[in-house]
Each structure stands twice: as structure tokens, then as C-alpha cells.
Amino acid sequence: MNTVHDARTRTDAPTVLNVFLAYDTADTGRMALALFGHVASGLKDEVLLNTKVWRFDLLTLSECAQQAQADAANADLIVVAFGALEPLPADLCQWLGEWAEHRDTPDAALAALPTGAGVGEAGLPVVETLRSLASRHGLDFICGAEAVSADHLATLAPGSPRR
């Protein structure tokens, strides 16, 4: 799914921030998309969020993996949204590692977005897995809904004066 959240209020072109959102369940995906819609409205005319959305299990299916990698290749930010209390699937971690090695955006960031039962101490193992992956691949790492705020996303946008 490709979702563009356009928060422009004037006619000049805003900076585009390419976001790849991976989520575990439909509820988590809906919550994350609602959050990005809200954030887009806070960005006003500064940044246009171009969001590609994929469920964890579809990223690694042989029929979908190539398209998922293509969708993620130029992502400025990969957001992993999760609400489950189980560890990230090994094939998802492998997929994220492959993206990190072959990404087109050298200064990309990886974000953990815990939701529901994944918030707080229960989600720490997943957060630490993602933090470790980011560190191994030289990615900035951000965590939680506060990190995916309008102000923070504006700093991640290519060419942003705040970057």
C-alpha cells in the first residue's frame, strides 16, 4: 500500500520524506497510519510524507520480497510498528539487514514504534533488537511515538534546513 500524506497549505513543493512502515497486525498498522496522518497535519507545508506500508509476513514472502525491497530502497526512515509481545521474526530481521546493506539512502534511520502490549518494558526486547541492527548498519535509531513527531520527522527530510 502506498499512502501519501500531503500537509501542504501553499503551492510550492515541500520536501519529501520517504517512509517505509512495517507492522505486525492490522490494528497496529491502522494505529501507525493514523499517527502518520496526524503528524502530516503538523508538518504543514514543510514536508510531504510518502509512506509505503507493509505487513511483516508479506515482506518476506518470495512473491513479495523483491517489491518490498524496491519500495524500501529509497526510504529515509523505516518504521517498525509492533504490538505483540513476541520477538521479531528472524526472517524480518534478515530482511531489515538486507535493506540496510543495500539501501539507496546513506543517512536513513530506523524507528521502533511500540503499540498496545508492546509499549513499556514488555517491548524492550524488540526495541533492543532494532537498536542493535541500526548500530551494526550505521543507522540512526529512534523509538516511540515521540520520535515520530512532526518536529523530528522534519529534521529527517532530505535537504531540511534542520538536518
Distance (Å, whole) CA 47 – CA 153: 8
Query: What CATH class does 2-156 carry?
Result: alpha beta
Q: Are 105 and 17 in contact (CB under 8 A)?
A: no
Q: pLDDT, tens digit, for every residue of 61-115?
A: 988 988 999 999 999 999 999 987 788 999 999 999 999 998 888 889 999 998 8
Q: pLDDT, tens digit, for every residue of 36-48?
A: 888 877 776 778 8
pTM: 0.81
Distance (Å, whole) CA 139 – CA 123: 20
Buried b (16+ CB within 10 A) or exposed e, 22-44: bbbbeebbebbbebbeebbeebe
